[in-house]
Amino acid sequence: MPDSPDLSVQIDNQIRTSGPMSLSTYMRLCLSHPRLGYYRTGVPLGAGGDFVTAPEISQTFGEMIGVWIANAWQTMGSPPSFDLVELGPGRGTLMADAVRVLARVPGLLDAARVLLAESSPELISEQKRRLAELNPQWITEIAQADDRDTPLLVIANEFFDALPVKQYQKADGAWHERVIGLEAGKRVWGLDPTPLPAESLPESVRDAEDGAVWESARIAADVMTDIAERLARRTGALLAIDYGYDRTQTGDTFQAIAGHDYADPLAAPGEADLTTHVDFAALAEAARTGGAAPGPLLTQAQFLTALGIEQRHESLAAANPGKAEELAAAVERLTGPEKMGTLFKCLCVASGGLNLYPFDGTTGT
Ligand code: SAH
Q: Is the Cβ atom of 94 under 6 angstroms away from ligand 1?
A: yes
Mean pLDDT of the chain: 95
**pLDDT of 5:** 79
Q: Can you spell out the DSSP letters for 81-125?
A: SEEEEEES-TTSHHHHHHHHHHTTSTTHHHHEEEEEE---HHHHH
Q: Is the Cβ atom of 273 under 6 angstroms away from ligand 1?
A: no
What tens digit of pLDDT does each residue of 219-261 get? 999 999 999 999 999 999 999 999 999 999 999 999 999 888 9
What tens digit of pLDDT does each residue of 85-134 get? 999 999 999 999 999 999 999 999 999 999 999 988 889 999 999 999 99
Report, as an integer, the average pLDDT of 144-170: 98
What is the best residue among 39, 115, 140 to mutate for testing ligand 1's pocket, by most ligand atoms within 8 Å of CB? 39
Q: Is the Cβ atom of 53 under 6 angstroms away from ligand 1?
A: yes
Q: Tell me, in angstroms, the distance from the centre of ligand 1 to residue 116's CA.
A: 10
Q: Tell me, in angstroms, the distance from the centre of ligand 1 to residue 88's CA.
A: 3
Which atom in ligand 1 lies closest to the alpha carbon of residue 117? 24
Nearest CA to ligand 1 atom 23: 119
User: Is a pLDDT exceeding 80 seen at residue 319?
Assistant: yes
Angle ∠(32,37,40) on CA atoms, nearest 5: 85
Stronger pLDDT, 40 or 341, i.e. the higher one: 341
User: Is a pLDDT exceeding 70 seen at residue 208?
Assistant: yes
Q: Tell me, in angstroms, the distance from the centre of ligand 1 to residue 276's CA.
A: 14
Whether pTM > 0.75 for this model: the answer is yes
User: Is a pLDDT exceeding 70 seen at residue 364?
Assistant: no
Count of residues making up the chain: 365
Report, as an integer, the average pLDDT of 308-316: 97
Residue 2: band (very low, low, confident or very high) from pLDDT cuts 50, 70, 90: low
Report, as an integer, the average pLDDT of 166-184: 97
What tens digit of pLDDT does each residue of 42-52 get? 667 777 778 88
**pLDDT of 365:** 47
Distances (CA, A) of 175 to 24, 190, 197: 17, 13, 7
Residue 120 in contact with residue 33, Cβ under 8 Å? Answer: no
**What is the dihedral angle through the alpha carbons of 70, 336, 45, 265, rounded to the nearest 10 degrees?**
130
User: Is a pLDDT exceeding 50 seen at residue 363?
Assistant: yes
User: Is a pLDDT exceeding 80 seen at residue 300?
Assistant: yes
How far is the C-alpha of 254 from the C-alpha of 263, rounded, in Å?
A: 11
Q: Is the Cβ atom of 274 under 6 angstroms away from ligand 1?
A: no
Torsions phi, psi for 306 (to 5 deg): -60, -30
Report, as an integer, the average pLDDT of 196-215: 95
Residue 269 in contact with residue 338, Cβ under 8 Å? Answer: no
Report, as an integer, the average pLDDT of 166-191: 97
